[in-house]
Amino acid sequence: MKKVDFLLILLCLNAASFVVFGDPQTCPADLGGKCSDSDDWEGDFFPDIPKIKYEGPTSKNPLAYRWYNAEEEILGKKMKDWFRFSVAFWHTFRGTGGDPFGAATKYWPWEDGTNSLAMAKRRSKDIAPDGNTLEESNKNLDEVIELAKELQKGSKIRPLWGTAQLFLHPRYMHGGATSSEVGVYAYAAAQVKKAMEVTHYLGGENYVFWGGREGYQTLLNTDMGRELDHLARFFEAAVAYKKKIGFNGTLLIEPKPQEPTKHQYDWDAATAANFLRKYGLINEFKLNIECNHATLSGHTCHHELETARINGLLGNIDANTGDAQTGWDTDQFLTDVGEATMVMMSVIRNGGIAPGGFNFDAKLRRESTDVEDLFIAHISGMDTIARGMRNAVKILEEGSLTELVRKRYSSWDSEIGKQIEEGKADFEYLEKKAKEFGEPKVPSAKQELAEMIFQSAM
């Protein structure tokens, strides 16, 4: 099955049903929908799923929020504005459960087993199948995008961000912007151009670059310096075109260390920040931090978020997690409250991440095959992050952890500390002060106390 060129993330999880369109010959018989001789089909794909409501921490209802209360204000913002949750269409509605060792396990009621244009319409807001040429692919995309635009009427649903798929097609086996073939580079640019246009057209607020094949398998046959230069030129052209079409959304780079390539050029947040600085792009981009990618790069999600934050680059979060015992991108839903609390501490210190948000770049486990599981997974993820938010606020407002950190660095509040931080202390001066001080007294870091304070908020 060919992969499509353009992926949309939809900023919504409150709808319990869709009105979808597709080939009437493939209308499922058990959904109570209406078929006609036209191309349209109407029905409810989720007839047994109610609107998801907040019921509080004591609720036992798996189809209700326990911690996420969209309209509740915390630190001057509604929860929905802190999080700006979104659904990843490719994982959620296109996920099959297949893996390198097994076939698909999920057969969703909206799928008919084809990758036709009619099937793309049935998915309502999914994207279009590849054509045999760039022009044909763009024509297919335009047709589905017009349907998406029509479905947006009377709704607040819009893409959190858009992106171009530059890794599945064989043309991209050497990369897109870093390909050794200039024709591939040009094709990738044309694809991104179109994807940016439709993201703008549908009211998208961000645009993401994920370089799944922008890297190498071995340096023996790779001119790394030249490829990095080409990648920078590609990003420069994207910035210029964004401004040309009046797209005010944020451009985001999503770091990942490897998979599918052995080494990706945007390995982690620090590497991406260094790349942007080197090529003078630091003020044009922010980062989309994915927690599972942090795991693959040997970091915690909190580390990557803080690295992005202190560099002024935190723009969006792919809310998922990995498995410490598994060496690949498992894209599981984030359910660890402790990790979510640390994530939210970074978000609060950043003042939020709008116009970015929390995208559930996560998929059901292979063994979870009910439509209901899609809702349970997202509810659990949203509740985990909301609970993390409540815990983070508790920790920051209580103040003990903040005070512990302040006291640990209190020597830097002295005159000499301020001189060093202001760049006014040279080595001769520091040598003189070292002789005056004698052997320094080094206090405890109080790590166990810090962990105790943190855990007490859980």
Q: What is the pLDDT of residue 140?
A: 85
Q: What is the pLDDT of residue 378?
A: 97
Q: Across residues 162-191, what is the average pLDDT? A: 96
Dihedral angle, C-alpha 13, 308, 302, 97, nearest 10 °: 40
Element counts in the chain: helices (H) and strands (E) = 15, 16
Distance CA 177, CA 184 (A): 8
Distance CA 445, CA 110 (A): 56
* DSSP secondary structure of 265-282: TT-SHHHHHHHHHHTT-T
User: Is pLDDT above 60 for 20?
Assistant: no
Q: What is the pLDDT of residue 145?
A: 87
Q: Is 314 helix (H, G, I), strand (E, B) or coil?
A: strand
Q: Report CA-CA distances (Å) from 238 to 235, 269, 330.
A: 5, 20, 30
Q: What is the pLDDT of residue 172?
A: 96
What are the structural domains of the chain? 3-398 (3.20.20.150), 416-456 (no CATH)
Q: What is the pLDDT of residue 36?
A: 38
Q: Which two tokens stand for residue 235?
A: 């990003």
Are 184 and 235 within 8 A, CB to CB? Answer: no
Distance CA 151, CA 392 (A): 38
- Rounded to whole angstroms, the maximal C-alpha distance in the chain is 92
User: Which DSSP state fits 128?
Assistant: P
The per-residue pLDDT of the chain, averaged, comes to 88
Q: What is the pLDDT of residue 305?
A: 98
User: Is pLDDT above 80 for 320?
Assistant: yes
Closest CA to 390 of 14, 68, 76: 68
Q: What is the pLDDT of residue 15?
A: 27
Runs of H (alpha helix) within 216-255: 224-244
Give CB contacts under 8 A, 24+ apart, made by 405-412: 408/443, 408/445, 408/446
Distance CA 138, CA 182 (A): 21
User: Is pLDDT above 50 for 194?
Assistant: yes
Q: Report CA-CA distances (Å) from 163 to 55, 319, 423.
A: 35, 17, 42
Convert the pLDDT of each residue in 361-414 to its tens digit.
Answer: 999 999 999 999 999 999 999 999 999 999 999 999 999 999 999 999 999 999
Handedness of CA 229, 235, 239, 241 (dihedral sign): positive
pLDDT tier, 124 (very low <50, low <70, confident <90, very high otherwise): low
